[in-house]
C-alpha cells in the first residue's frame, strides 16, 4: 500500500534526524558556549521569518493543489505546478531583497551571522518539496535529504574545531539547505515540465496562499518569536539553553508527526473523492499510531532528561533539562493537533478554522511570553508553549468535531496513555533502588526496562491485538 511505503520512508528518515543530532550536538555544544549558540539561534529565528514571508504558505498550499490533480494528466499537473512555482519565485525574490536591505541597514553585532544565512533565504526560492509531497513521492525527498544531511555532518566534524569556527558552522548549515533544494530538481521531469503561464494566473495564487500563510505565520509566532523575545527581554545565554531544549522537542515532534506528513496529501485526495469510510479507517490508523508513540515518549523523556542533558550537551548546558521537562508536555497537544488540524481541517478546505486556531494561539503566546519571560526566563517561555499548544489543539478539535468521531478516537488513546503512565511510575520506582554512575548506561537501562514493561502492558490490556496490527499494516 502506497501510504504504508511512504510512512516507512518518512519514519526511517525521521530516525536518521534523531540519530544525527545525537552525534553532532554533543560535539558542537562542547565547542560553542550557550552565548555563542544563542547568537546563532537568535539570528536564525529572525532569518526564518524572511524565509517564511517569502514562501507565503506555498509548501502546504502547493502540496494541497498538486494532490488534487495528482490523478490527472501530466499536462494538468505541469500547469498547476508552473503557475504556483512562478508565484513562489516572485515572492521569494522580494523576500531576499528585503533581507539584504535589512542586514546591511541594521548591522549590529550579529551581522556576520545574518550574512552567512543568506543562502538559507536563497534556498527557499528553489524549494519544490511541495510537488513531491503532492504526488506522494516521499522516497525522492527522503533519499536526497539523507545524502545532504550525512555530508553536512561530515563537514562539521572535519572543519569545526574551535569557538571561532561558529561562522563556518553557520555556513555549512546554510549551504546544506541550498544544496538539498537544488538536487530535488534532478527528478522533477518525471512528474512535470515548466510551461508558460499567463501573468494573471500566477498572481491569482496570492489570495489562496494567504489563507495558508496566516496559520503558518501564527504558528511561527509562538514557535520562533519566543527565542527572539528571550534574546530581547531575557539573555542570549537563555536563548542558547532554551533552543537546545526546543531542538530535542522538535526531534520528538518529527517522530510523532511522521504519519501526518504522509497522510496529508492522501487525506486531501480521499476527501476530494468523497471516500468517507476510507477517511475513517485512515484516521483510526493515525490516532492509534500517535497514541502508541506520543505518550511513552513524553513519560520516557521525563525519566531520563537529567542524564540525557549531561551526556548530550555537556556541563555548560546543565540547566537545559528543566526546559525539556516543561516543554515535553507540549508534545501531546501537538501530536493530536496533527490529526484534528492538518489531517482534517486542511483536507476538508476548512483552512479558515485552522487559521483561527493558530492565530488565537499566536496572540496568547505573545501576551504570555511578554509577561513570563522577563520574570522567569526560559522557564516562562516553556510554560507558555505548553499552554498555547493545548489551547490550539482544543480549538482545532472543536472546529473539526463534525468530521471526526471524537468519542471513538478518545477511546483509542486511553489505553496507551494508561499503559505509559503505569510504565513510567514502575520504572521510576525501580531505579530508586538502583545506582548507576554512567549516564549512558542509566539511559540505556531505563529505555530497555521501559520498553519491556510497556510492551507487556500493551499486550495484556489488549491495546495491541491482531486487529490493531492489521490496521498498522494498512490491511
Which residues are CB-contacts of 470 (< 8 A; sequence separation ≥ 6)?
none
pLDDT at 475: 44
pLDDT of residue 448: 94
Q: Does the pLDDT at position 312 exceed 70?
A: yes
Q: What is the pLDDT of residue 1?
A: 53
Spatial distance between the Cα atoms of 305 and 317, rounded to a whole number of angstroms: 12
What's the mean pLDDT in 359-383?
88
Q: Identify the residue with better confidence: 146 or 87.
A: 87
Q: How confident is the model at residue 470 (pLDDT cuts 50, 70, 90)?
A: low
Q: Is the pLDDT of residue 281 over 90?
A: no
Select the more confidently predicted residue: 456 or 463.
Answer: 456
Task: Find cell 494573471 and name the residue.
Answer: 200
| 259 vs 168 pLDDT, higher one | 168
pTM: 0.67
Query: Of 134-143, 197-206, 274-283, 344-353, which range is least confident?
Result: 274-283
Percent of the chain with pLDDT over 90: 25
> pLDDT tier at 170 (50, 70, 90 boundaries)?
very high
pLDDT tens for 381-425 read 899 999 999 999 999 989 888 877 788 888 888 889 999 999 999
Smallest CA-to-CA distance from 81 within 217, 179, 189, 186 is with: 189
Give the residue, 23 or 455, on which the prediction is more confident. Answer: 455
Question: Higher-confidence residue: 71 or 129?
Answer: 129
DSSP-derived secondary structure letter, 165: G
pLDDT band at 267 (very low <50, low <70, confident <90, very high): low
The contacts of residue 313 (CB under 8 Å, 6+ apart) are 25, 26, 29, 244, 320
d(CA 436, CA 168): 39
Averaged pLDDT for residues 169-189? 89
Note the pLDDT of residue 401.
83
Does 223 or 31 have the greater pLDDT score? 31
- Decide if pLDDT at 214 tops 60: yes
Amino acid at each position: 500500500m502506497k501510504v504504508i511505503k511512504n510512512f516507512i520512508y518518512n519514519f526511517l528518515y525521521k530516525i536518521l534526524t534523531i540519530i544525527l543530532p545525537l552525534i553532532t550536538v554533543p560535539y558542537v555544544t562542547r565547542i560553542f558556549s550557550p552565548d555563542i549558540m544563542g547568537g546563532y539561534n537568535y539570528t536564525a529565528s529572525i532569518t526564518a521569518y524572511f524565509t517564511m514571508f517569502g514562501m507565503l504558505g506555498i509548501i502546504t498550499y502547493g502540496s494541497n493543489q498538486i494532490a488534487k490533480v495528482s490523478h490527472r494528466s501530466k499536462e494538468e499537473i505541469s500547469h498547476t505546478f508552473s503557475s504556483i512555482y512562478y508565484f513562489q519565485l516572485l515572492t521569494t525574490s522580494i523576500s531576499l531583497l528585503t533581507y539584504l536591505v535589512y542586514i546591511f541597514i541594521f548591522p549590529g553585532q550579529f551581522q556576520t551571522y545574518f550574512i552567512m544565512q543568506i543562502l538559507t533565504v536563497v534556498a527557499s526560492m528553489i524549494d519544490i518539496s511541495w510537488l513531491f509531497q503532492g504526488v506522494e513521492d516521499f522516497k525522492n525527498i527522503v533519499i536526497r535529504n539523507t545524502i545532504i544531511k550525512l555530508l553536512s555532518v561530515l563537514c562539521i566534524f572535519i572543519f569545526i574545531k574551535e569557538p571561532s569556527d561558529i561562522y563556518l558552522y553557520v555556513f555549512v548549515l546554510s549551504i546544506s539547505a541550498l544544496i538539498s533544494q537544488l538536487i530535488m530538481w534532478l527528478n522533477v521531469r518525471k512528474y512535470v515540465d515548466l510551461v508558460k503561464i499567463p501573468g494573471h494566473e500566477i498572481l491569482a495564487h496570492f489570495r489562496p496562499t494567504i489563507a495558508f500563510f496566516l496559520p503558518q505565520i501564527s504558528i511561527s509566532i509562538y514557535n520562533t518569536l519566543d527565542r527572539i523575545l528571550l534574546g530581547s527581554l531575557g539573555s542570549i545565554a537563555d536563548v542558547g539553553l532554551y533552543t537546545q531544549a526546543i531542538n530535542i522537542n522538535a526531534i520528538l515532534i518529527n517522530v510523532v508527526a511522521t504519519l501526518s506528513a504522509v497522510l496529508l496529501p492522501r487525506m486531501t485526495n480521499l476527501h476530494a473523492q468523497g471516500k468517507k469510510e476510507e477517511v475513517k479507517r485512515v484516521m483510526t490508523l493515525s490516532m492509534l499510531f500517535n497514541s502508541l508513540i506520543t505518550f511513552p515518549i513524553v513519560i520516557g523523556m521525563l525519566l531520563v532528561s537529567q542524564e540525557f542533558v549531561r551526556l548530550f550537551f555537556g556541563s555548560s548546558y546543565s540547566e537545559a533539562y528543566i526546559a525539556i521537562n516543561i516543554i515535553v508536555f507540549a508534545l501531546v497537544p501537538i501530536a493530536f493537533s496533527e490529526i484534528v488540524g492538518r489531517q482534517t481541517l486542511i483536507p476538508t478546505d476548512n483552512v479558515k478554522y485552522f487559521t483561527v486556531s493558530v492565530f488565537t494561539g499566536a496572540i496568547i503566546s505573545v501576551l504570555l511570553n511578554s509577561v513570563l519571560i522577563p520574570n522567569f526566563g526560559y522557564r516562562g517561555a516553556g510554560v507558555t508553549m505548553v499552554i498555547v499548544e493545548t489551547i490550539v489543539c482544543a480549538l482545532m478539535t472543536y472546529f473539526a468535531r463534525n468530521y471526526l468521531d471524537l468519542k471513538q478516537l478518545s477511546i483509542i488513546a486511553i489505553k496507551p496513555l494508561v499503559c505509559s503512565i503505569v510504565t513510567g511510575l514502575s520504572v521510576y520506582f525501580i531505579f530508586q533502588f538502583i545506582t548507576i554512575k554512567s549516564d549512558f548506561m542509566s539511559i540505556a537501562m531505563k529505555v530497555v526496562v521501559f520498553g519491556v514493561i510497556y510492551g507487556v502492558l500493551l499486550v495484556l490490556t489488549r491495546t495491541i491485538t491482531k486487529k490493531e496490527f492489521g490496521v498498522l499494516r494498512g490491511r
